[in-house]
């Protein structure tokens, strides 16, 4: 009715209520909006704890996020990075990317820590090494279109962008589901697979 996309409405709420430069408070304010105002398909606090735990265990130096959306997952990842680490995040929708850019900077992360790349993942991934300087990723968080999970994993493999022992965390593989990705990961012999049970966001 307002003509303002709900992602932009969420950002306006963040501007009014979140503490700038405080990533944890930015996430909490996002959660308040999603619980009480409008649902956004962000990672959310329950699954966010899984992400935080894995980041703490792995301490990755080069992180790649596929599917920035509003920047919630990006802030979640960025706040868990060890000093000197860098996060590359890819978003295909320019309008979502415009909101995410503002959210990421509001949370206090500069371009040295978080690089937001706008474009389809199948076009960006082959350019990551030469254009963006990402030689190998230690940690990959997939939270974009589920039908793209397998294609993009194969692209990461074929362009040798996965560091030895890399962790790949893929959201919502059971529902809405990414069955081909899951089947490949379990049967190709390259990965040790574990399913983390969680509820849907909010």
* Crossing angle between the packed helical segments 44-58 and 72-79, to the nearest 10 degrees: 30
110 flagged as catalytic:
no
Is 199 within a domain? no
Mean pLDDT calculated for residue range 187-196: 96
- Structural domain for 106, as ranges: 6-188
Tens of pLDDT, residues 16-73: 999 999 999 999 999 999 999 999 999 999 999 999 999 999 999 999 999 999 999 9
pLDDT, one tens digit per residue, over 69-119 is 999 999 999 999 999 999 999 999 999 999 999 999 999 999 999 999 999
In a domain, residue 38? The reply is: yes
Residue 82 — φ and ψ, nearest 5°?
-70, 160
Report the pLDDT value the prediction gives residue 119, as an integer from 0 to 100: 98
Three-class SS of residue 49? helix
The domain tally of the chain equals 1
* CATH at 45: 3.40.50.150
Q: Average of pLDDT values for 125-146?
A: 97
In-domain check, residue 105:
yes
Catalytic residue, from 7, 101, 138, 171: name it.
Answer: 171
**3 pLDDT more than 90:** no
Catalytic residue (one of 7, 65, 91, 172): 172
Residue 172 annotated in active site: yes
Q: What is the pLDDT of residue 199?
A: 84
Residue 91 lies in a domain: yes
Any domain includes 171: yes
Say whether 171 is catalytic.
Answer: yes
Q: Kindly report the backbone phi and psi dihedral angles of residue 137, in degrees, each rounded to the nearest multiple of 5, phi listed first.
A: -105, 130
Burial class of residue 111 (count of CB atoms within 10 Å of its CB; 0-12, 13-18, 19+):
exposed
Let me know if residue 201 belongs to a domain.
no
Residue 200, in any domain of the structure:
no
Q: Is 138 a catalytic residue?
A: no
Catalytic residue of the set 65, 138, 143, 152 = 143
> Given the structure tokens 């589920």, which residue do they identify?
146
Kindly state the average pLDDT of the residues 136-150.
Answer: 97
pLDDT surpasses 80 at 139:
yes
| pLDDT value for 1 | 58
Evaluate whether residue 178 is within a structural domain: yes
The question of whether 146 is a catalytic residue gets the answer yes
C-alpha dist (Å) from residue 19 to 28, 56, 79, 125, 142: 10, 24, 15, 34, 28
Residue among 52, 146, 157, 164 flagged as catalytic: 146
């Amino acid at each position: 009715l307002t003509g303002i996309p709900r992602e932009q409405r969420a950002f306006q709420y963040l501007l009014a209520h979140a503490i700038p430069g405080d990533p944890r408070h930015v996430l909490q304010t996002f959660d308040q909006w999603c619980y009480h105002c409008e649902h956004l398909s962000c990672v959310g606090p329950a699954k966010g704890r899984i992400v935080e735990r894995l980041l703490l265990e792995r301490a990755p130096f080069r992180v790649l996020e596929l599917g920035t959306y509003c920047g919630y997952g990006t802030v979640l990842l960025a706040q868990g990075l060890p000093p000197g680490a860098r996060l590359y995040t890819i978003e295909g929708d320019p309008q979502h990317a415009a909101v995410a850019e503002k959210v990421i900077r509001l949370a206090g992360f500069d371009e040295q820590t978080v690089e937001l790349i706008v474009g389809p993942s199948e076009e960006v991934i082959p350019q990551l090494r030469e254009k963006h300087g990402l030689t190998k990723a230690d940690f990959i968080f997939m939270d974009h279109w589920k039908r793209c999970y397998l294609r993009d994993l194969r692209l990461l493999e074929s362009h040798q962008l996965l560091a030895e022992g890399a962790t790949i965390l893929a959201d919502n593989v059971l529902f809405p589901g990414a069955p081909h990705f899951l089947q490949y990961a379990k049967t190709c012999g390259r990965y040790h697979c574990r399913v983390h049970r969680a509820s849907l966001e909010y």
